Amino acid sequence: MEAKKSFLEQKIDLESPNKNIVPITTSIGTDGKLTIGGCSIEELVEKYDSPLYILDELTLRNSCRAYKKALEKYYPGESLPIYASKANSSIFMSNLVSSEGFGLDAVSEGELLTALKGGVPNEKIVFHGNNKSDKELDFAVKNNIKVIVDNDYDLERLDKISNSFNRELEIMIRFTPGIECHTHKYIKTGSFDSKFGFGIEYLNTLFERISNTKHLKLKGIHAHIGSQIFELEPHNDLGEIMVNVILDAKKFGHDIKKLNVGGGLGIKYTEDDDPPSIYDWVKTISNSVVRACKKYNLDLPTLMCEPGRSIVSTAGITIYKIGAFKEIPGIRTYLAVDGGMSDNPRPITYQSNYSACLVRNPLNINSKNKYTIAGKHCESGDVLFKEIELADCKTGDLICVFGTGAYNNSMSSNYNRIPRPAALLVCDGEAEIIQKRESPFDLLKYDVLPDRFIKQN
């Protein structure tokens, strides 16, 4: 019987990186060791230490270009892909997606500021959030960033702001279309019971309220039905629902020109995952909108979408160094690494699964050992992998975890006062720092000892 191929030996999809487990530049050198972007991982760790986040530039750009090309191919009207920056927010990521013609969505003043510092044009930024502060709204309006209204509280304050400036303010609204999708219950955001957006049954009342404001101009609608979605049918249904909302808005004098379908396309974390390609996802949603517009004799709106995970996740890997071993005879063998839940909270939060290999023996040659990979934090649940098959391991070996570009760095913390890792960009054999490694002393910068304690000491 022919031995099963490792995921590292499987054909790479260059057009739709979300269908790969590994970055598209992944290779095994003549020494049998893993390289990414033409760089030796062992040499990178020797220079930059571990844990270490690494992003592959070619995979990032291919993902962006797949969305652009697919929209040009399947949507005959204007389109604008917008990077969901919560997946991985940095000045570098803002700069890269902007250079590929993307806009960006942000959910805080920090993400807005990062986008602007990264060179994203103001007019291509949208501001989301279900509890925006007055300060955040003021920052967005003063910087001419389009606000997506999520609730009545947003609407009331934007009405006041527009009146205080005595000028028109274009807005979009977010609503829940009521489409269920097969995903984790914590990231299912398009059902009727959601903290995000207006209920679809409330929209006519909302449209009338906006009509009665002096300066607010409703120019777009937004809906998002979830994350890490492998089904196309929910997006096939979304177009007609949103076009019907545009038609209802017209009855109240609103001329909606922008239709934002959110994001949510899944990626391949493990061999069991089989997400649609970027092209299939874009084709499905484009055809859905075009079909509905033709049905109701409506001009095509600007089609916006908000990919995040499917842009950055597959491009990212995390490297750990093995430390302690603990064998429990007849039960399992634990190996501990120098990171864990502070640099990747998704396994303990969502029970998320990943793929991994040993850097010096990525194909697991002559070995079928199973290990449970534990993080170093003071939590029993800080386990990155349960019973994963790896080559023979020893203290000091490096482990590469794939698919960590999204929601690892952005959700990282300093739990147990552990500094965050450095992040590198690799391309054509060169590596550059895009985020510096924190030091323990960095964690003390914002600690303050009250004066009376200083006097007592």
Q: Please give the positions annotated as active site.
A: 378
d(CA 289, CA 114): 32
Strands (E), 209-366: 216-222, 258-260, 302-305, 316-328, 332-337, 356-358
80-108 as b/e: b if 16+ CB within 10 A: bbbbbbbbbbbbbbbbbbbebebbbbbbb
d(CA 70, CA 218): 28
Give the DSSP H/E element, type plus range, for residue 34.
strand 34-36
Angle of the 152-165 helix axis to the 203-211 helix axis, nearest 10: 10
Task: List, in order, residues 6 or more apart from 293 with CB less than 8 Å away.
Answer: 243, 299, 300, 301
3-state SS, residue 221: strand
Give the DSSP H/E element, type plus range, for residue 235.
helix 233-250
d(CA 44, CA 65): 28
**60 and 311 in contact (C-beta within 8 Å)?**
yes
Burial label for 214, CB within 10 Å (0-12, 13-18, 19+), is exposed
3-state SS, residue 31: coil
Chain centre distance of CA 257 = 26
**398 and 320 in contact (C-beta within 8 Å)?**
yes
Amino acid at 457: N
3-state SS, residue 238: helix
d(CA 188, CA 5): 34
Half-sphere CA count of 91, side-chain side, radius 13 A:
7
d(CA 357, CA 419): 24
